[in-house]
Amino acid sequence: MIAEGSEEQGTGGLERYAEAHPELLTADTIVIGDAGNFRVGLPTVTSTLRGMTLVRVSVDTLEGNLHSGQFGGAAPDALAALVRVLDSLRAEDGSTTVDGLTGDAVWDGLQYEEDAFRKDAKVLDGVRLIGEGTVADRIWARPAVTVLGIDCPPVVGATPSVQAAARALISLRVPPGVDAVEATRLLRAHLEAHTPWGARVSTEQIGQGQPFRADTASPAYAAMAEAMGEPSPARRCSTRATAARSRCATPSPRSTRRRRSC
């Protein structure tokens, strides 16, 4: 038994251990019991993982903060520039827009009904979902960008200043069929291209994990289907997915599960 305690930290400890001791992990099949069923009463087996890239973007415009009463209106505000950059990552309807990255794939499995998704996600009444296409298209078949954090002055204690620097951490989920390395390159290029006013911008890759698609014709899946009371995954199973927590290959940020449900 191997116990790894750096959940969500991206330390790479388990990855390095596996590389150093491959004989301890030699197996015909690996089963990860890390997620529940898609819904109660529906036995579910994970068949794919959505990958991820993490990029930190930093914007600098001034040697130091300036008084907004004296310099505001002409001095370039780094925080405002960063807001413009982050806004460029979404279309008017909220769809993810990264230059060169395709975002129109269609999910061909069973669907995640919008009412059920709104309930599961606890979306407030009157607030629209973002993106276009089916819910399944948006959360399982297409890239999805999320701003994880922003470094800027907090509201409490803020001063009347034009900000000289600001930065953000961005997550980009990528579905199977999209190379995470290429997605990282496209995201960094997009951030640099959409930085306004000639502001100085730098990007740094913080983490990355490739998407994964299992061989659902393998003996392991046939055995799992039989154990669940089904004769054959090819005849009786249909692909499903869930927007539950996620795991990446390296480091350890998680990736969304796409599932084969029997």
**Which CATH fold would you assign to the domain 51-105+142-210?**
Alpha-Beta Plaits (3.30.70)
Average of per-residue pLDDT across 93-113: 91
The pLDDT tens digits for 21-33 are 999 888 888 777 7
- Asked if 162 and 60 count as a contact pair (C-beta separation under 8 A), the reply is no
Average of per-residue pLDDT across 109-123: 92
Rounded CA gap, 52 and 256, in Å? 9
Q: Where does the pLDDT of residue 53 fall: very low under 50, low under 70, confident under 90, or very high at 90 and above?
A: very high
pLDDT at position 136 over 80: yes
188 vs 230, higher pLDDT: 188
pLDDT at 124: 98
pLDDT at position 251 over 50: no
pLDDT at position 220 over 60: yes
Q: Where are the domains of the chain?
A: 1-49+213-262, 51-105+142-210
Rounded CA gap, 184 and 189, in Å? 9
pLDDT at 8: 60
Q: Where does the pLDDT of residue 69 fall: very low under 50, low under 70, confident under 90, or very high at 90 and above?
A: very high
- Asked if 48 and 258 count as a contact pair (C-beta separation under 8 A), the reply is yes
pLDDT at position 229 over 60: yes
pLDDT at 239: 39
Average of per-residue pLDDT across 204-233: 81
Rounded CA gap, 258 and 137, in Å? 12
Distant-in-sequence, close-in-space partners of 57: CB < 8 Å, separation ≥ 6: 82, 85, 167, 168, 170, 191, 201, 202, 203
Average of per-residue pLDDT across 87-116: 93
pLDDT at position 49 over 90: no
pLDDT at 242: 34
Q: Is residue 171 packed enough to be buried (19+ CB in 10 Å), middle (13-18) or exposed (0-12)?
A: buried
